[in-house]
Amino acid sequence: MTSPLLPASESRRPVIITGLSGGGLSTAAKVFEDKGYFVSQNLPPQLILDLVEMSTADDSPVDHLAVVTDVRARMFNGSLMETIEAIEAKGLSPFILFLDARDEVLIRRFDSVRRTHPLQGNDTLKEGIERERKEIAPVRERADLIIDTTHLSVHDLRRSIEASVGDLSAPKQHVTVESFGFKHGTPRDADLVLDVRFLPNPFWIPELREFRGIDAPVADYVLSQPGAKAFVDNFLTMLKDMLKGYRHEGKDFITVGIGCTGGHHRSVAISEEIVRRLRESDDVDVNVLHRDLERN
């Protein structure tokens, strides 16, 4: 069996996958299933609690549980927040993964499969999405990790989940550094967004244009520019202080967005350097994503 997404020390921690309809819940469920989880989808709140209790029993055949639930569960008694609180009352800490996306993207996804939104009724699809956002806002606020799937393909979402959660370990905080291009929009799931467009753009140097920030010629060029290393030094000093505050507030998953114009050169090189430096610390689990590396 494939090794589980969560290590043995966290094997009894239930995972709740939720978010907006059309946000990629089925894809997320498949990721966890492929990693050896027992995955159950579309359970009403009370049955989620029952399943968690059964999976944590001493004689349970299930070591790793993930439950997918969305707004359709509202037809049953009890809310998802009440279920989360009931799980916590039993001494367990559910890991909440919330998938989000921009309205226009959700509308396009629903239109492509010719489905109606579960809260649409006789109104427009946009109104159904707005109702859902309002209804699940408390769960979003409670989430351990929010992933914005607006710009992610199915394969990108899989990589994002595995990068963000793949090395989950209770004693550590988890930092995902994500490079991006401002022309493609900022990542809405980022806790911090940094702009490195103050550095000279390698795109305008013909011999560097076809390389990317993961390639040595571009990385060396970017990091040799005045202010580049000082920027990294100052940010890491600030981040380490912020991580202490995040930990105090119970936030163990932090996403840092590093942006340049297209997401090919400067943001990638700076992200790689920040990740390299962060990995020197034993207190932080670090992953890197390059959202727009292959985009034109």
Binding residues for GTP: 70-73
Sequence-ordered list of residues with C-beta below 8 angstroms from that of 41, at least 6 positions apart, any chain: 25, 26, 29, 67, 68, 69
Residue 207: count of CB within 10 angstroms of its CB: 9
Cross-strand pairs, 255: 176
Output Rg (C-alpha) for the chain, integer angstroms.
Answer: 20
Q: Which residue has the tokens 């670090």?
A: 286
What's the token pair of residue 12?
Answer: 């009894």
14 close to 64: Cβ distance less than 8 angstroms: no
Are the CB atoms for 287 and 166 separated by under 8 Å? yes
Q: List the Cα angle 46/50/52 in 5-degree steps.
A: 115
For 35-82, where are the E strands, in sequence order?
38-41, 65-68
Angle between helices 154-165 and 25-34 (to 10 degrees): 60
Question: Alpha-carbon distance 188 to 142, whole Å?
Answer: 16
